[in-house]
Structure 1
Amino acid sequence: MRLRIVTPLSVVVDEDGVLALRAEDASGSFGILPRHADFLTSLAISVVEWKSANGTQHFCAVRYGVLSVTEGQQIAIATREAVVGSDLATLDRSVLARFRADTETERTERVESTRLQLNAIRQIMRHLQPASRSGSGDFA
């Protein structure tokens, strides 16, 4: 099988001769072997693992993404961020921890941004509503 892992900025992995692949989506871990049915899933923050024809194990930490299998021979992963490494423990400990922390930071920033936008809308609505002035005589 041929495996391609791409980010918006680069092709991280482009390898032919993949014998098996393991990845993780919201439902859990799953495997892909040659002649797998066409398949499409959304990946979690996880480590993708594959075995080459020469028996070597490879690892790539991904920050979410989409995995597709086409014609049982083409595996494509499109992800926001990917880091290839040879040591599963290091990827799991450092890279995945950073991916999770970045995701939590982005979530916090989104919540804060939404809160600021809602406050701005409330202020605009206050200024657009007619003022209830009881005979103040400010306007003729």
Structure 2
Amino acid sequence: MTGSFQIEIVTPGRIALARGDIIAVRARDASGSFGIRPGHADLMTVLPASVVSWRAVDGETGFCAVRGGVLTMSGGKRLAIACREALPGQRIEDLESEIVAHQAGAEDSDRAARTAQMRLHAQAVRQIVHFLSPARGPGGHGLSDSFAAEDAS
């Protein structure tokens, strides 16, 4: 089959790739690696974290690392991939170093988020303990004062 098709790779925050001159795509799903050419039958499949490659009419090749996603081919003319994250690149070697750097940044970000979550949790526990503790001194604001007042009446 001759001709070309459109490819679009999107994440929730951006369009990572949009081209209309693609003649071949290589991807991987649970069943293994597969290829798509212009005129391919309609298809929908789930992609694991993997690298999708393509070749354009002029012979240019490209790659895109995707963090899972859904690939759909419609009408033999439009391939779309919706994924959580996508890192496009022209050379697989460059893409590999970008992925390593991206993962390191993501790990740092996750670590900072977990630390902030633990701090908030500890602060909430301290506030609960303070609220439930008996008051120290006259006119305190502890919960046990409320119960003591009810018992006295």
Give the structure-2-normalised TM-score. Answer: 0.62
The answer for the alignment partner of 1:28 in structure 2 is 32
The answer for the alignment partner of 2:93 in structure 1 is 89
Runs ≥4 residues deviating over 6 A = none
The answer for the alignment partner of 2:13 in structure 1 is 9
The answer for the alignment partner of 1:62 in structure 2 is 66
Q: Which amino acid aligns with 2:89?
A: G
Contact 1:61 1:96 in 2 (8 A): no
Once the two structures are TM-superposed, the CA of residue 96 in structure 1 deviates from its matched residue by: 6.7
Greater length-normalized contact order (CA 8 Å, ≥ 6 residues apart): 1
Once the two structures are TM-superposed, the CA of residue 97 in structure 1 deviates from its matched residue by: 8.8
Q: What is the DSSP-based 3-state SS (H/G/I as helix, E as strand, rest coil) of the residue aligned with 2:95?
A: helix
Task: Report the count of equivalent residues.
Answer: 109
Give unpaired runs (5+ residues) of structure 2. 115-153
Match of 2:75 among 48, 55, 71: 71
Whether 2:46 is the aligned partner of 1:42: answer yes
Q: Which amino acid aligns with 1:34?
A: P
Q: Which amino acid aligns with 1:53?
A: V
Once the two structures are TM-superposed, the CA of residue 92 in structure 1 deviates from its matched residue by: 3.7
Once the two structures are TM-superposed, the CA of residue 74 in structure 1 deviates from its matched residue by: 0.3
CA deviations 1:40-69 (Å, max 9, x no partner) are 000011111000111100111100000000
Measured at CA, do residues 33 and 97 of structure 1 come closer, stay the same or move farther in structure 2, by a change above 3 Å? Answer: farther
The answer for the alignment partner of 1:114 in structure 2 is none
Q: Give the distance between the partners of 2:78 and 2:30, measured in 1 at CA.
A: 22
Q: Give the distance between the partners of 1:24 and 1:66, measured in 2 at CA.
A: 11
The answer for the alignment partner of 2:131 in structure 1 is none
Q: Give the distance between the partners of 2:100 and 2:49, measured in 1 at CA.
A: 7
Once the two structures are TM-superposed, the CA of residue 95 in structure 1 deviates from its matched residue by: 1.2
Which has the higher Rg, Structure 1 or Structure 2?
2
Taking only aligned residues, the RMSD between alpha carbons, in angstroms, comes to 2.7
Q: Give the distance between the partners of 1:85 and 1:69, measured in 2 at CA.
A: 22
Q: What is the DSSP-based 3-state SS (H/G/I as helix, E as strand, rest coil) of the residue aligned with 1:17?
A: strand
Q: Give the distance between the partners of 1:14 and 1:95, measured in 2 at CA.
A: 21
Q: How does 1:127-138 map to 2 (within 5 A)?
A: none
